[in-house]
């Protein structure tokens, strides 16, 4: 009979309309937490671990990371400048993957609009100030997958706590 | 599994009809004299046992001395493949014959190669730029292009 | 009384919602019947092939996300396959399974979006579209939890995948797999027997088998016209030869058949996913390579059955850390070659749904 197909479709629509809760959320009021591995804008950089080797800058497809180092007295480098240009960054995460010293992490922030272009070139000072409070993403660092993100503790501390916890449990029970 | 045909065997079959057509046959790629390209392509399409009915890809490579136009051909009925290559010399106006009359699927791809690599396809019905605009100067995929 | 009419030229696009991006059709119409159609493209040309000549093989992967932005996972797979083929890089077993899972999830997401768009073009504004987007969202959630982003995934690497799946991935995948067949039934209830859809799509944009072959069409375009050709079966890459699935084939080659092939392919994808879910082993996911590794001199063409058709990466290396030449054989670009023949003789409204059934993504057409 002509029209049965239509009625079938209408039944699906009605069923979805009446019996299914809405799938969307009202964004600015309601928020969905991004997963732990989210590759977000707020990079987390630990100066004490960074050796200024510039591997991240070489790995960056866009050439966004600018590093200037000076040689120290005892055969080491001081990182003078560490600028990440968020304007051209596409958040591919290759810099984090390349870092041999676990000094650079992606962050969990996704609201990165700014009123000025200059503010989007994030330098050493800002990164240093933010490092203790920001929670690093576990992108390319799966060992951070299960860290309590609400505690907001920085990685070295969390890692230490994790290690202690692991020692408590012991390898046999894992 | 798609069988990559041995180019030597194909070359032997091509030489039966066109003794001067094949310049080189190595691996699975058949390098053909430019003037004979259309005839060889027709032969590959129509010969029983070769049946290349599907033009999978057309592209070109800039090797500085010459441009190499690569046709990757498939036969869906026999499930085998072959690279058909030809060379165009000169940087001003390199020219190769168009294969649109053999496989119509080459149409857009040859226009793309013309657009980005600057190789003229003789006998193409509508050879004009496809991705870039008409007034664009130069051909970006050439190695000497400075953008 | 007869009216004298002149042919009218319509600039359809580039800013028109039915062109699925910045694509332009220059239509010459006699009354409502199309007499000529010229596709105009290039508005989104970013020069990916040229850009890739200055990037290492790992850095290529983020570029490929931006080609077909409705199925970035498939693009990633094709790109790294080319590098692996040329360098003979081994891929661990688990990584192969993860690739299959990701590629098939991507196919589901892409075909879902395409079906929704097609119905939009038909005038069913956003009913089915919202349903398919809902399922696509769940798939993108899986991607996000695995690699950090929803669309620009950059997940594959030469020699495996970036990192292992998170713990909660498998339960979520299980829940999705349990849900999907039911959802596919819902889509079909909405479209497959709907009289209006049938009246609009049957016998429209008919492509004969011979034309599909000679024009180099691939994917659902080719199978809708009755050619049984699926690279996963006919030229298996990765571990696709281990999976049991069928190739749905259309008969008439019209818009309806192309839609039907896609819906059936989604069911087959669920089948593949079930097998991959069952068989996935534990183990390593990545062969470690140097940051800037070199590939031997030579050429390689790797192709996969992307959701839109045969996606091929033709890689020429001169032994350096970056490709000497990289050509992307993009399926939607080549499928567009037949658009003129499919639309001439039909009305303008039919051209819209024919274009919808080709399933183009302009990021891939223009590269």
**By C-alpha distance, which of C99, C40, C112, C48 is closest to C363?**
C48
> How many domains does chain C fold into?
1
Residue B137 lies in a domain: no
**Six-digit token string for C271:** 């089948």
User: Which residues in chain B have their CB less than 8 angstroms from residue C50's CB?
Assistant: 116, 140-141, 145, 147
Residue B110 lies in a domain: no
- What is the per-residue pLDDT for A25? 85
pTM of whole model > 0.90? Answer: no
Name which of A55, A59, A106 is nearest C148 (Cβ-Cβ).
A106
Check if the beta carbon of residue C358 is closer than 8 Å to that of residue C41.
no
**Six-digit token string for B4:** 């990559």
Name which of C42, C301, C334 is nearest B105 (Cβ-Cβ).
C334
Residue B12 lies in a domain: yes
Residue C148 lies in a domain: yes
* CB within 8 Å: A142 and C166: yes
Pairing of strands A121-122, B29-32: unpaired
Cα–Cα distance measured from residue C28 to residue C8, given in angstroms and rounded to the nearest whole number:
6
**By C-alpha distance, which of A137, A142, A41 is closest to C168?**
A142
* CB within 8 Å: A37 and C59: no
Residue C3 lies in a domain: no
- What is the per-residue pLDDT for C97? 92
Question: C149 versus B1: which is more confidently predicted?
Answer: C149
Name which of B105, B131, B145 is nearest C214 (Cβ-Cβ).
B105
Other CB atoms within a 10 A radius of the CB of residue A129 amount to 10
- What is the per-residue pLDDT for A8? 84
User: Which residues in chain C have their CB less than 8 angstroms from residue A55's CB?
Assistant: 291
User: Which residues in chain C have their CB less than 8 angstroms from residue A139's CB?
Assistant: 147-148, 163
The maximal CA–CA distance of chain C, rounded, in angstroms, is 79
pLDDT in tens, B113-132: 998 888 988 888 888 888 88
Check if the beta carbon of residue C307 is closer than 8 Å to that of residue C93.
no
In the three-class reduction of DSSP (H, G, I as helix; E, B as strand; rest coil), residue C2 is classed as coil
Residue C193 lies in a domain: yes
Q: Does the pLDDT at position B144 exceed 60?
A: yes
Residue C181 lies in a domain: yes
Question: How far out from the chain centre does Cα B33 lie?
Answer: 11
What is the span of the domain harbouring residue C296?
8-365
Choose the mutation target among C39, C208, C214 for the interface with B, i.e. most B CBs under 10 Å: C214
What CATH code is carried by the domain that includes residue B79? 3.30.460.80
> How many domains does chain B fold into?
1
* CB within 8 Å: C234 and B105: no
What CATH code is carried by the domain that includes residue C161? 1.10.645.10
pLDDT in tens, A2-35: 878 888 888 888 888 888 888 888 888 888 888 8
Which residue, chain included where needed, has tokens 């599909």?
Answer: C212
Residue B45 lies in a domain: yes
Segments of chain C scoring below 50 in pLDDT: none
Residue C272 lies in a domain: yes
pLDDT in tens, B19-74: 888 888 888 888 888 888 888 888 888 888 888 888 888 999 988 888 999 999 88
Cα–Cα distance measured from residue A41 to residue C6, given in angstroms and rounded to the nearest whole number:
56
Choose the mutation target among B30, B131, B132, B141 for the interface with C, i.e. most C CBs under 10 Å: B131
Q: Please report, rounded to a whole number, the percentage of residues in chain B having pLDDT higher than 70.
A: 99
Residue C2 lies in a domain: no
Choose the mutation target among B82, B108, B132, B143 for the interface with C, i.e. most C CBs under 10 Å: B108
- What is the per-residue pLDDT for A150? 52
Query: Could you give the C-alpha distances from C338 to A59, B131, C226, C334, in angstroms and in order?
Result: 41, 17, 16, 8
Residue B35 lies in a domain: yes
* Residues in Cβ contact with A24 at an 8 Å cutoff, skipping those fewer than 6 apart: none
Residue C1 lies in a domain: no
What is the Cα Rg of chain A in Å?
A: 23
User: Which residues in chain C have their CB less than 8 angstroms from residue B145's CB?
Assistant: 50
- What is the per-residue pLDDT for A97? 87
Residue B105 lies in a domain: no
Residue C47 lies in a domain: yes
What is the span of the domain harbouring residue B8?
3-90
Segments of chain A scoring below 50 in pLDDT: 168-174
């Amino acid at each position: 009979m002509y029209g049965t197909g239509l009625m079938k479709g209408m039944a699906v629509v009605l069923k979805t309309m009446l019996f299914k809760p809405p799938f969307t959320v009202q964004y600015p009021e309601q928020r969905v937490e991004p997963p732990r591995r989210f590759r977000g804008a707020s990079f987390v950089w630990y100066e004490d671990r960074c050796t200024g080797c510039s591997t991240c800058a070489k790995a960056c497809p866009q050439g966004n990371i600018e590093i200037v180092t000076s040689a120290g007295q005892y055969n080491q480098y001081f990182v003078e400048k560490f600028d990440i240009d968020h304007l051209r960054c596409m958040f591919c995460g290759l810099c984090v993957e390349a870092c041999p010293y676990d000094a650079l992490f992606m962050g969990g922030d996704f609201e990165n609009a700014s009123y000025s272009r200059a503010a989007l070139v994030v330098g050493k000072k800002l990164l240093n100030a933010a490092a203790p409070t920001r929670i690093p993403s576990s992108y390319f660092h799966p060992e951070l997958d299960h860290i309590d993100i609400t505690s907001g503790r920085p990685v070295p501390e969390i890692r230490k706590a994790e290690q202690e916890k692991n020692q408590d449990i012991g390898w046999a029970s894992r | 599994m798609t069988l990559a045909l041995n180019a030597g065997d194909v070359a032997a079959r091509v030489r039966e009809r066109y003794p001067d057509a094949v310049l080189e046959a190595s691996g699975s790629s058949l390098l053909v004299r430019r003037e004979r390209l259309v005839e060889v392509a027709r032969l590959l399409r129509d010969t029983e046992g070769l049946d290349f009915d599907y033009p999978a890809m057309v592209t070109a490579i800039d090797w500085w001395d010459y441009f190499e136009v690569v046709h990757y051909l498939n036969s869906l009925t026999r499930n085998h493949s072959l690279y058909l290559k030809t060379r165009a010399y000169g940087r001003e106006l390199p020219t190769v014959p168009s294969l649109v009359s053999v496989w119509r699927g080459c149409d857009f791809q040859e226009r793309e190669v013309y657009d980005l690599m600057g190789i003229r396809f003789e006998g193409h019905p509508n050879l004009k730029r496809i991705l870039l605009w008409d007034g664009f100067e130069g051909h970006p995929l050439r190695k000497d292009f400075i953008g | 009384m007869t009216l004298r009419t002149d042919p009218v030229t319509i600039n359809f696009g580039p800013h028109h919602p039915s062109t699925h991006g910045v694509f332009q059709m220059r239509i010459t119409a006699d009354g409502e019947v199309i007499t000529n159609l010229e596709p105009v493209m290039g508005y989104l040309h970013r020069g990916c092939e040229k850009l890739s000549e200055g990037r290492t093989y790992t850095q290529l992967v983020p570029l490929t996300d931006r080609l077909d932005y409705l199925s970035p996972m498939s693009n990633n797979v094709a790109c790294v396959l080319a590098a692996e083929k040329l360098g003979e890089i081994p891929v661990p077993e688990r990584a192969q399974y993860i690739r299959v899972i990701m590629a098939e999830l991507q196919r589901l997401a892409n075909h879902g979006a395409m079906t929704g768009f097609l119905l939009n073009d038909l005038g069913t504004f956003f009913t089915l579209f919202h349903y398919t987007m809902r399922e696509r969202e769940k798939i993108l959630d899986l991607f996000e939890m695995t690699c950090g982003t929803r669309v620009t995934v950059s997940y594959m690497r030469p020699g495996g995948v970036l990192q292992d799946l998170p713990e909660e991935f498998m339960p979520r995948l299980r829940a999705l797999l349990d849900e999907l067949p039911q959802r596919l039934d819902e889509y079909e209830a909405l479209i497959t027997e709907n009289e209006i859809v049938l009246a609009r799509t049957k016998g429209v944009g008919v492509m004969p088998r011979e034309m599909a072959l000679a024009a180099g069409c691939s994917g659902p375009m080719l199978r809708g016209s009755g050619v049984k050709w699926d690279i996963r079966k006919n030229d298996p890459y990765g571990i696709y030869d281990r999976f049991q699935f069928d190739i749905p084939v259309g008969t008439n080659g019209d818009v309806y058949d192309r839609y039907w092939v896609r819906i059936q392919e989604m069911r087959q994808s669920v089948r593949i996913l079930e097998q991959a879910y069952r068989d996935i082993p534990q183990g390593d996911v990545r062969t470690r390579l140097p940051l800037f590794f070199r590939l031997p001199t030579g050429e390689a063409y790797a192709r996969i059955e992307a959701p839109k058709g045969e996606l091929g990466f033709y890689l020429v290396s001169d032994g350096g850390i970056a490709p000497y030449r990289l050509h992307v054989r993009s399926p939607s670009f080549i499928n567009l070659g037949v658009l003129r023949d499919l639309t001439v003789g039909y009305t303008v409204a039919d051209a819209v749904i024919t274009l919808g059934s080709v399933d183009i993504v302009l990021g891939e057409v223009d590269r």
